[in-house]
């Protein structure tokens, strides 16, 4: 199919890895921007991962995707982010045996600092960044703080997978359809301190917490969603891949095309909403319109929710302070 629209350039880091592989074919097929919008893919890897990206690029050719305008592979962030409209930062340094949290943050700082600078200097003026690689929120903070010329609200981290998990598990538990569920929020960090909150959620218009009961809705449900990543690792023998790629596509699609009245969960640059310190990349309820996220404001937060949100935000503050001590973000 030929079309008059010019391609949107999407740069994927970690393109030779699992999530990159699962994401790129769906992006090429139109799942991210719709069935009319061509895409140009830029695959950014490190030398050890480049063969995986090359293999995927061969398969992209074999997919004969009508919307796929081009595929380029690079190991140089300055080249890989050149002209990027959307940057999916998936590649990161996983925690290995014996590694302390500070070592993990330092190793990722060495990735996300330079990538932030490359985005700052070479991406398109409208660039939108989604960080998937863990620890996603603090990696996004590092990238954002190293990109002073890019508006801060263009940097986001992925809590859409947590949001989708919450919606999926709520549907499964209640027997409702996913499409009947609204108003779920995941607050805080993409970690086990996150708070999947049903206080404002509805199932077919009825308050979710009344349908499922407070014991489950504020007990087992919260723990299951927060620990779902570990559950997947235990059952699959590896961390979530297709659901993570799908959530990344949902996040960017909503950001670009809008959510309408429904809200979702996005880790975005805080401007102080709900008492979250300014400058943290924290998960909040948000709608998207005209290419921007808008925090859903005015939700009532009861004592239980306040405590859970504060605990997750405290973890983000601690991570921020650690990367500041390591010199990975410039002083504020």
Ligand X SMILES: NC(=O)c1ccc[n+]([C@@H]2O[C@H](COP(=O)([O-])OP(=O)(O)OC[C@H]3O[C@@H](n4cnc5c(N)ncnc54)[C@H](O)[C@@H]3O)[C@@H](O)[C@H]2O)c1
Ligand Y SMILES: O=C(O)C[C@H](O)C(=O)O
| Residue 190 annotated as catalytic | yes
Q: What is the DSSP letter of 103?
A: H
Question: If contact means CB under 5 to 8 A according to the sort of partner, which of ligand Y, ligand X, none does residue 232 touch?
Answer: ligand Y
CB within 8 Å of 103: residues ≥ 6 apart:
none
Q: Is 158 in the site for ligand X (CB under 6 A)?
A: yes
Alpha carbon distance 130, 271 (integer Å):
18
Question: Which residue out of 163, 190, 200, 251 is catalytically annotated?
Answer: 190
Among 29, 239, 259, 322, binds ligand Y (CB under 6 A): 239
Helices 242-257 and 18-29 cross at an angle (nearest 10°) of: 40
Flag whether 258 is marked binding.
Answer: no
Cβ closest to ligand X, residue 174 vs residue 189: 189
Q: Residue 34's Cα: distance from chain center in Å? A: 19
Output the smallest distance, CB 91 to ligand X, in A. Answer: 3
Let me know: does 243 contact 22? Beta carbons within 8 Å.
no
Q: Is 161 in the site for ligand X (CB under 6 A)?
A: yes
Strand arrangement, sheet containing 181-182: 181-182, 202-203, 206-207
Q: Is 92 in the site for ligand X (CB under 6 A)?
A: yes
Cβ closest to ligand X, residue 39 vs residue 157: 157
Among 240, 246, 265, 267, binds ligand Y (CB under 6 A): 240
Q: Is 92 in the site for ligand Y (CB under 6 A)?
A: no
Q: Is 134 in the site for ligand Y (CB under 6 A)?
A: yes
Alpha carbon distance 292, 277 (integer Å):
20
CB within 8 Å of 33: residues ≥ 6 apart:
8, 39, 253, 256, 257
Question: If contact means CB under 5 to 8 A according to the sort of partner, which of ligand Y, ligand X, none does residue 319 touch?
Answer: none
Alpha carbon distance 245, 257 (integer Å):
18
Flag whether 164 is marked binding.
Answer: no
Determine the residue with CB nearest ligand X.
Answer: 17
Element (H, E) at 42: strand 39-44
Select the span of 44-52, 121-129, 193-201, 226-234 touching ligand Y (CB under 6 A).
226-234
Among 90, 181, 284, 313, binds ligand X (CB under 6 A): 90
Binding positions for NAD(+): 14-20, 108, 115, 132-134
**Could you list the active site residues?**
190
């Amino acid at each position: 199919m030929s079309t008059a629209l010019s391609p949107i350039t999407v740069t994927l880091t970690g393109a030779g890895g699992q999530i990159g592989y699962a994401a790129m074919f769906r992006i090429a097929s139109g799942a991210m921007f719709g069935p009319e919008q061509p895409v140009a893919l830029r695959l950014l890897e490190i030398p050890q991962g480049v063969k995986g990206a090359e293999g995927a690029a061969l398969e992209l050719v074999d997919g004969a995707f009508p919307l796929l305008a081009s595929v380029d592979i690079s190991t140089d962030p300055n080249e890989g982010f050149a002209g990027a409209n959307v940057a999916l930062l998936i590649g990161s340094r996983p925690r290995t045996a014996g590694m302390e949290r500070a070592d993990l943050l330092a190793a990722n700082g060495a990735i996300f600092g330079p990538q932030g600078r490359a985005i700052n200097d070479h991406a398109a003026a409208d660039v939108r960044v989604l960080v998937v690689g863990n620890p996603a929120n603090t990696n996004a903070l590092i990238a954002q703080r190293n990109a002073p010329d890019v508006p801060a609200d263009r940097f986001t981290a992925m809590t859409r997978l947590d949001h989708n998990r919450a919606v999926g598990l709520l549907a499964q538990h209640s027997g409702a359809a996913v499409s009947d569920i609204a108003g779920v929020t995941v607050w805080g960090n993409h970690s086990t301190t996150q708070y999947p909150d049903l206080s404002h959620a509805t199932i077919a218009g009825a308050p979710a917490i009344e349908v499922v009961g407070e014991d489950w809705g504020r007990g087992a449900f919260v723990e299951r969603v927060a620990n779902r990543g570990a559950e997947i690792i235990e059952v699959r023998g590896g961390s979530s891949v297709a659901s993570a790629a799908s959530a990344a596509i949902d996040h960017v699609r909503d950001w670009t095309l809008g959510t309408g009245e429904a809200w979702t969960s996005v880790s975005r640059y805080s401007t102080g909403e709900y008492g979250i310190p300014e400058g943290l990349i924290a998960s909040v309820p948000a709608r998207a319109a005209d290419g921007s996220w808008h925090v859903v404001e005015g939700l009532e937060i009861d004592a239980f929710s306040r405590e859970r949100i504060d605990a997750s935000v405290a973890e983000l503050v601690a991570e921020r302070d650690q990367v500041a001590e390591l010199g990975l973000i410039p002083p504020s």
